[in-house]
Amino acid sequence: EVWARGFNEYGQLGIGNNDDQNKWIKSFTREKVINIVCGRYNTMILTEKGEVWATGRNYYGQLGIGNNVDQNKWVKSKIKEKVIDIVCGALYTMIITEKGEVWATGDNDKGQLGIGNNKRQYAWIKSFTQASGLIDVDGKEILYTKCEENKVINIVYGNDYTMIITKKGEVWATGDNKYGQLGIGNNEDHTSYYKWVKCKIKEKVIDIVCGGCYTMVLTEKGEVWATGLNGCGQLGIGNNEDQNI
């Protein structure tokens, strides 16, 4: 079961009204829940059956229900695939399906959904698959072979950009790259990528985290690599210079 309390202006608690709560209140009891994630003002849950339910702010389409109407009751998100993981950016949502594919919905002004454009999405759309719109660091289009090693196993997000890891240990990125946070060897004139781009790291990656505008990865060897904004020394490389690879 899901219980909730706190700020509820947009219905993010999923209790049927928009009143703030200072005590715990039952929110979702329909099915067994295995994961909960929160965006800025929306909440998403993943059930044991692989279904996604949503509530709260939906102005950008981040609930994935086919419209941009806010919800204060849990509504089943319109995705037919079985979902195994879910993450929320501030104003957008991404999921990993049982097939190892990534679907996305919501805000996309910097290309953070990785769908080849910067148009906002109100319903789930395929983002990263093994047969669509992938490009390598030299700008050449890649057609991924469908196999177990190419499945996506993790998604993380920073400010308007998204990073994924495949089972093979490769890192792919999309979205804002002003500070080199995508780790693709350039800042692309302070613009954004709209398609997934393979990152320039040759080591096998097992984990990844994003700060606001910088990214850190953990390799199979136990080493940490970093890229992006470094004005406060957040990359830990002995200077304050931004990095793009």
Question: What's the pLDDT tens digit per position in 22-38?
Answer: 999 999 999 999 999 99
Tell me the average pLDDT across 53-61. 98
When mean pLDDT is compared across 12-21, 197-206, 229-238, the lowest value belongs to: 197-206
Q: Six-digit token pair at 204?
A: 């096998």
pLDDT at 174: 93
pLDDT at 185: 87
Model confidence band, residue 145 (pLDDT cutoffs 50, 70, 90)? low
Q: Residue 19, SS3?
A: coil
CA pair distance 149, 128, nearest whole angstrom: 14
For the chain, the residue count is 245
pLDDT at 191: 65
Q: Is it the case that residue 137 has pLDDT exceeding 60?
A: no
| Integer angstrom CA distances of residue 234 from 89, 190, 200, 222, 228 | 21, 20, 20, 19, 9
Q: Six-digit token pair at 26?
A: 């039952």
CA pair distance 101, 90, nearest whole angstrom: 21
pLDDT at 195: 83
- What values do phi and psi take at 190, rounded to 5? 60, 30
Tell me the average pLDDT across 121-137. 75
Q: Is it the case that residue 43 has pLDDT exceeding 90?
A: yes
Tell me the average pLDDT across 109-120. 93
Mean per-residue pLDDT of the chain: 91
CA pair distance 106, 196, nearest whole angstrom: 17
Instruction: Write down the pTM of the prediction.
Output: 0.90
pLDDT at 143: 60
For residues 86, 89, 93 and 97, what is the CA-based torsion angle, rounded to 10 degrees?
Answer: -30
User: What is the CA angle 213-214-218, rounded to 5?
Assistant: 150
CA pair distance 244, 111, nearest whole angstrom: 18
pLDDT at 245: 81
CA–centroid distance for 94 within its chain: 5
pLDDT at 134: 59
Tell me the average pLDDT across 90-118. 94
Closest to 195 measured CA to CA, from 121, 133, 123, 119: 133
Q: Six-digit token pair at 221?
A: 């060897």
Question: What's the pLDDT tens digit per position in 172-223?
Answer: 999 999 999 999 888 875 567 788 888 888 899 999 999 999 999 999 999 9
Q: Is it the case that residue 168 has pLDDT exceeding 70?
A: yes
Name the residue with tokens 């829940």: 33
Q: Is it the case that residue 13 has pLDDT exceeding 60?
A: yes
